[in-house]
Structure 1
């Protein structure tokens, strides 16, 4: 140690002696504040931090935060602070708990990774209310977060909260001034689809996002909203900006099989059509797609607790996809039937409310607030009047008569298509069509009969116990029937088809496949070890192929070759269901809007597939067949190479 040159000699001697005696040993300690600043905490995910430090006040479930109430929020919270992620979009239903989950993310940031925060709301009143009712109580209610308060009343205004180490700003979409001139690390855009656009400025979303530029890769942006339309807001982020979109897969509490919940599997008694009755009596239930077990709300909640997020295109679990592909922008889709706060009966009641009123406002409510999907104005080119214009003067059940005076038959074969509805023998029914197909490549066809059969015996009587005649008394029977077997009463359909083998096939629709029709052998009834007597063949149908064909046929004028004819008594219900679906250019697929029945459309698709399976367009008319057989007699066929006709032969 170097001493000052002007130090008094006696003092110099004493200092040197003290230094020599201490032999260079020095002791010191950090103050409490220094220790708090330099303490290195054990890393933990947001979901774990929330259960330890978050106290929820403004909620139907107040008290300490529990991840088990909203299990799907765990993945959203933890993914928000993955090192690769920058923007997080959540397309959600109301009453899902996601807003509170994002408050958890901000609380975690206050405690563990501080930086300026900005919440953006649709309007000023909503911003002030959220500051008072949610954000300030979140900080004051948590013992950990409360230590960061300054203690000054001036630092807790309704539009700015000053903590000891960071500010929290509140803004709204209608005020560009509130959205500018602030460097922001954490940005929360709440109810994005309700923002008010300014004619003079860029969109509120764009203005707010520019505030995060200086924080670069350390910034985080959350976009939360119930969807409204496709072209804007949260759905635009999900479809155009998000590099990965995740769906929540649940696990059945009975069979432990993983599945993606859909509205189509929510059931309620078919004889109950009053939405208030379904809601008050809690009649809705969910049917597992694997074991067929029935879930009530408690089972649904258990299934959700056992679930996980999977990426829509790769199928990878959330963390595995983030670690492997490292997307910067990610999206989560959350419909209402996953929420602990929304009963299955409430979802069903919303659908029934629209089904009863046919009011487009009710349909928008169901799409936006329960399916968490945007409202689409469906354009239908094939309106009901155009369908009914295809009717001729034949009564129901009558087959077109022969061609000309020589009795040449007009009809080659009768084919049926059946759509299965209901979940058991007592509540189910069958929609069917019977269609007559003519000879030749034109594929001209005539509707003979359509309707509903209540039971399998009644269906068998309609298909094979009945004889259909033309005006000259010639008799015809159904040559082949195809029946939908997926989603409803699969075991019963298989048993029915096995009992009528050679006359009917069970079918499974595929949106796309290599060939229009493919066959798959079946040995056991689904979900059991019980053998199907003699086995069965499942006919897999490329529905896009045949729906395109059906749409083309509906555009042919009745007087032109290849027309698609209806009988004189065709019901309006048939016409309505034939215009239910539309072709979505973006998805490159046929889509049926929620709440619209399309049973007869599906039946006609199966009837076309049945005619294709028979190869009717390649059959020879009787006169042509006779000529071909006569010519063949002059050249004996070798038995070794003789053709063996299929079970459906050639012409009848």
Structure 2
């Protein structure tokens, strides 16, 4: 039946529908976006009418949403390639063409509010085809719920189980899923919790979007179950289609300066078939002729897409090469490059440490003396029932460090003397250094540790070790001094720093095993007790008996010594991380370094290191 005739019949049968109900026009999400979606000035680098031709690889992702044979869409992609905007286009299509109760999930509740207020609401207000659905009663629009005339749109954080489980939904959007906690409180996995709300809808759709992290991350596991599509583009010379891979980006062998490569656009892409040079000017035409091809050679109801930064119209080959060169010598930056630029999972090989290997890290300086390369001292204290183990470590440029002191003491006064009153002399001069910051374990004798840290607020951080922290962060600060009468946080009160000890132990392993140059040094003739404790753990693969999932964890070796010195080294490393001593670079030497220790972990040396746009 023609749509026009259908509308006339509908008006006869249901008169009020002539005004309120308009049958949708059959179109894809990309067609709808090109016709109706407008990008607002505040949040878009290219405001105005949406054009799919600007990012042709998004067409297949968006149009999978209107494919009746697709239930799930999984997008494992780099940052800033348009994956989230594609998701918003799907949302706009729903509101205008195929309404139904919808839930958008962000990593945290604050993120959900930000997405609602700063991204979705501007999209609706600046697109006339969507703004007409905004209710007259503004009370129907809150930060976490939009009550349109034909549907309800909910926003929630993955850390809020009540919001995830409280309502039936047809459409589910999951953004940055690798940043979700594995469990919401005592309830089920947040993604499963949200998915349960779709049971009553036969025509449900789920969209999962994220940059990847590791093989254990949710987005990789979902992409692995999908039909695994990659965007193949033709070479402008030989016409052979291929997936764009970082290994094919080339630059002059004699050039090692990231800035010169970027500023002079010295990099190019080498065709994987004919080996000819492909310049930036060719990229857009290649994208327009590209196609999504399943690597599994099959079609299933979970459509998976992979996109790296190499496809981005906003980046040149030289931008990507430059970012790699700036990142390759710093593990955290390299991990970010692999995840957020290449859209690949980070895989790390852990080399087991032994007493002999660590003993070989000894250098020609005595305990208690500071090598000339050291710029700042940090300490870590492992608290036991009636004694303490501590280490003091000196930090130089590029994460290089030297063990200054490692010992066991009995009393808090000993800690004060070693950490705060003792001045440590340099090897070749009369200059001395004090310990700048210390992390003290609060798992044992907690009240004493808190009291001690309150007495030395500028020199200490009370810490608690955790196996992991949501979002893969190294540390998280929590204010714990609360007004008992009002329940409000006391300004300037004590902060407990939760440490991701798994990641810090991984980092120590990388530094210990790094070569040419070495990063981790110890003084000559170290005590056997220190060596045995420092090497007392190794990383092993364990499997959850209930879920069957496997993961790597740090565990004590059989018959190994205690691990107190290893823990103390973790805490000293964390102290250096918190004050941003790990960011010191030789090219910044002329500038004055003054550590800052704000609770967000966003502070750092007075010099502001230039970050990437991701």
TM-score when scaled to structure 1? Answer: 0.50
Unaligned runs of 5+ in 1: 1-27, 315-320, 387-571, 574-652
Assess if the C-alpha contact under 8 Å between 1:93 and 1:336 holds in 2: yes
What residue is the counterpart of 1:88 in the other structure? 73
CA offsets per residue over residues 380-415 of structure 1, 9 Å max, x none? 6999x99xxxxxxxxxxxxxxxxxxxxxxxxxxxxx
Look up the match of 2:323.
350
Equivalent in the alignment of 1:231: 216
The Cα of 1:350 is off from its aligned counterpart by: 2.3
Distance 1:84 1:139 in 2: 28
Give runs of aligned pairs for residues 610-621 of structure 1, distance below 5 A.
none
Superposed displacement of residue 81, structure 1: 2.0
Matches within 5 A, 1:391-430: none
Q: 1:221 is matched with which residue?
A: 206
**What is the CA–CA distance in structure 1 between the aligned matches of 2:247 and 2:12, rounded to whole Å?**
67
- Conserved? CA contact 1:95–1:342, under 8 Å: no
Deviation of the 1:150 alpha carbon:
0.9
Aligned to 2:280: 297
Deviations 1:202-260 (A, max 9, x none): 11111111111111x31111110000111121011112x32x11000011233332111
How many angstroms does 1:98 deviate by? 1.1
Match of residue 162, structure 1, among 139, 142, 147: 147
The residue number in structure 2 matching 1:420 is: none
Q: CA 1:254–1:382 in 2, change beyond 3 Å: closer, same or farther?
A: farther
Q: 1:208 to 1:145 in 2, by over 3 A?
A: same
Is this contact kept in 2: 1:55–1:63, CA < 8 A? yes
Alignment of 1:262-411 (within 5 A): 262-314=245-297, 325=299, 327-355=300-328, 357=329, 359-379=330-350
* TM-score when normalising by structure 2: 0.53
Task: Answer yes or no: is the 8 Å Cα contact 2:161–2:185 preserved in 1.
Answer: no
In structure 1, the residue corresponding to 2:52 is in which secondary structure? coil
Distance 1:297 1:36, change over 3 A: farther
Cα separation, 2, equivalents of 1:382 and 1:251 = 47
Equivalence for 2:504: none
CA contact (8 A) 1:336 1:372 kept: yes
Q: Give the structure 2 partner of residue 50 of structure 1.
A: 33
Please state whether the residue corresponding to 1:264 is helix, strand or coil. Answer: helix
2:171–2:198 CA contact under 8 A, matched in 1: yes
CA distance in 1, matches of 2:136, 2:22: 24
Q: Does 1:255 align with 2:238?
A: yes
| Number of residue equivalences | 345
Match of residue 89 from structure 2: 104
Whether the 8 Å CA contact 2:101–2:152 is kept in 1: the answer is yes
- Tell me if 1:75 matches 2:60: yes
Helix, strand or coil for the counterpart of 2:253? coil
2:382 — aligned with what?
Answer: none
Q: Which runs of 5+ in 2 are unaligned?
A: 1-10, 358-514, 517-614
Shift of 1:149: 1.2
Q: How far 1:156 moved relative to its partner?
A: 1.9
> Cα deviation per residue 1:267-296 (whole Å; 9 max; x = unaligned)?
111111122222222222111223333222
Give the Cα separation in 2 of the matches to 1:130 and 1:60: 17
Q: Note if 1:147 corresponds to 2:132.
A: yes
CA distance in 1, matches of 2:240, 2:55: 20
Where 2:228 maps in the other structure, the secondary structure is: strand
The one-character-per-residue Cα deviations of 1:13-64 (angstroms, maximum 9, x if unpaired) are xxxxxxxxxxxxxxx9688853356654441111111101111112111111
Equivalent pair of 2:37/2:50 in contact (CA under 8 Å): yes
Alignment partners' CA distance in 2, 1:89 and 1:141: 28
**Alignment partners' CA distance in 1, 2:316 and 2:265:** 8
User: Contact 1:192–1:225 at 8 Å: present in 2 too?
Assistant: yes
Please say if residues 122 and 190 of structure 1, whose CA atoms lie closer than 8 Å, have aligned partners that are also in contact: yes
Query: Structure 1, residues 50-106: CA drift from partner, whole Å, max 9, x if none?
Result: 101111112111111101111011001111221121111100000111111111111
Q: How many angstroms does 1:263 deviate by?
A: 1.0
Contact 2:77–2:343 (8 Å) recurs in 1: yes
Q: CA deviation at 1:160?
A: 0.8
Please tell me whether residue 176 in structure 1 is matched to residue 161 in structure 2.
yes
Give the RMSD, CA atoms, in angstroms. Answer: 2.4
Alignment of 1:200 onto 2:186: yes
C-alpha distance in structure 1 between counterparts of 2:14 and 2:296, whole Å: 54
Distance 1:92 1:119 in 2: 18
SS in 2 for 1:230: coil
By how many angstroms is 1:297 displaced? 2.2
Question: Helix, strand or coil for the counterpart of 1:178?
Answer: helix
CA distance in 1, matches of 2:327, 2:228: 29
Whether the 8 Å contact between 1:192 and 1:224 is mirrored in structure 2 is yes
Q: Secondary structure at the match of 1:273?
A: coil
2:195 alignment partner, SS class: helix
- The higher radius of gyration belongs to 1
- Structure 2 residue matching 1:179: 3-state secondary structure: helix
Partner of 1:188: helix, strand, or coil? Answer: strand
Runs of 4 or more above 4 Å deviation: 28-33, 36-41, 379-383
User: Secondary structure, in 3 states, of the residue corresponding to 2:153?
Assistant: strand
